[in-house]
Amino acid sequence: MRVLIADDEQVSRQMLETHLVKWGYAVVATADGSQAWDILQQPDAPHMAVLDWMMPGLDGVELCRRIRQLPGGSLTHIIILTSREAQEDIMAGFEAGADDFITKRITSEELRARIRVGERMVELRQALAGRIDELEQALTHIRRLQGILPICMHCHKIRDDREVWQRLEEYISEHTEAMLSHSLCPDCLRTHYPRYASRQAAKNDIPV
């Protein structure tokens, strides 16, 4: 997993980077909030960010607010790095969208535990987002099937949303999980196979 570190203090930034690389994470490190913001807007942006509260450009709390406004920004696990411990400061960070707080004097054991929790949260959020996408696609199919379908009055082909005409059974197989088997209704049996229909009727004593 890729982790973004944004901290203007070189010693603190290098310490975090050293620990995370040792634990198997790919690290992207920046020295100010503006650089971090540029990275976080990229399509392949890291899904975990450790942001210093106070740094040039944009501070961690403002970055937090901006991340949450991005499409898919809710999937990013945000940890604020700070020396502040006042309750009002912590509440301001949470209101901005932070998931966790760590202090600059945190032990390596606690840091590793917090990062692992963040990794699990990212995985859960991604899995949930995937399930939501699947449900939305299923709902789209249901709505399409419940709507009005253009059907040819002669050959009974269906016109799909790509303006392509498909056989009815092909359309149903593509858009549902229904399994189709072919048979003959009594009317088609009499029309297309009259001799067989007569024999079946005589056999079962049914008027043709």
Of the three residues 96, 131, 166, the one that is the final residue of a domain is: 131
Residue 68 falls inside a structural domain: yes
Mean pLDDT (whole number) for 5-12: 92
| CA dist., res. 146 & res. 161, Å (int) | 14
Q: 11-48: per-residue pLDDT in tens?
A: 999 999 999 999 999 999 999 999 999 999 998 999 99
Q: Looking at residue 206, what is its pLDDT?
A: 53
Per-residue pLDDT for 140 more than 80?
no
Residue 75 is encoded by which pair of tokens?
A: 């999937």
Q: Looking at residue 47, what is its pLDDT?
A: 93
Is there a single domain that holds both residue 55 and residue 124?
Answer: yes
Is there a single domain that holds both residue 108 and residue 153?
Answer: no
Is there a single domain that holds both residue 171 and residue 200?
Answer: no
pTM over 0.75: no
Cβ-count burial 93-110 (b if 16+ within 10 Å, e if not): beebbbbbbbeeeeeeee
Is there a single domain that holds both residue 21 and residue 54?
Answer: yes
Output the CA–CA distances (angstroms, integers) from residue 40 to 49, 80, 158, 161, 174, in the order listed.
Answer: 9, 15, 45, 36, 38
DSSP-derived secondary structure letter, 163: S
Is there a single domain that holds both residue 172 and residue 69?
Answer: no
Q: 153-196: per-residue pLDDT in tens?
A: 778 788 877 788 888 778 777 777 777 777 778 888 788 888 77
Is there a single domain that holds both residue 106 and residue 15?
Answer: yes
Residue 138 falls inside a structural domain: no
Residue 34 falls inside a structural domain: yes
Q: Which is more confidently placed, 142 or 3?
A: 3
| CA dist., res. 26 & res. 4, Å (int) | 9
DSSP assignment of 53-71: SS-SSS-HHHHHHHHHHST
Residue 36 falls inside a structural domain: yes
Is there a single domain that holds both residue 80 and residue 125?
Answer: yes
Q: 87-132: per-residue pLDDT in tens?
A: 787 888 888 889 998 888 889 999 999 999 999 999 998 888 888 8
Residue 140 falls inside a structural domain: no
Is there a single domain that holds both residue 158 and residue 125?
Answer: no
Mean pLDDT (whole number) for 52-65: 90
Residue 137 falls inside a structural domain: no
- If you count DSSP H runs as helices and E runs as strands, how many of each does the chain have, helices first? 8, 7
CA angle (27, 63, 13) in 5-degree steps:
35
79 — pLDDT class (breaks 50, 70, 90): very high
Strand spans (E) along the chain: 2-6, 26-30, 48-52, 77-82, 100-103, 158-159, 165-166
Is there a single domain that holds both residue 193 and residue 169?
Answer: no
Is there a single domain that holds both residue 122 and residue 78?
Answer: yes
Q: Looking at residue 182, what is its pLDDT?
A: 73
The domain tally of the chain equals 3
Is there a single domain that holds both residue 115 and residue 173?
Answer: no
Is there a single domain that holds both residue 120 and residue 160?
Answer: no
Residue 192 falls inside a structural domain: yes
Residue 95 falls inside a structural domain: yes
Residue 124 is encoded by which pair of tokens?
A: 């859960």
Q: Which is more confidently placed, 149 or 130?
A: 130
Range of the domain at 122: 2-131
Q: Looking at residue 207, what is its pLDDT?
A: 52
Q: Looking at residue 141, what is its pLDDT?
A: 67
- Give the CATH number for residue 46: 3.40.50.2300
Q: Which helix (H) or strand (E) holds 19?
A: helix 10-22
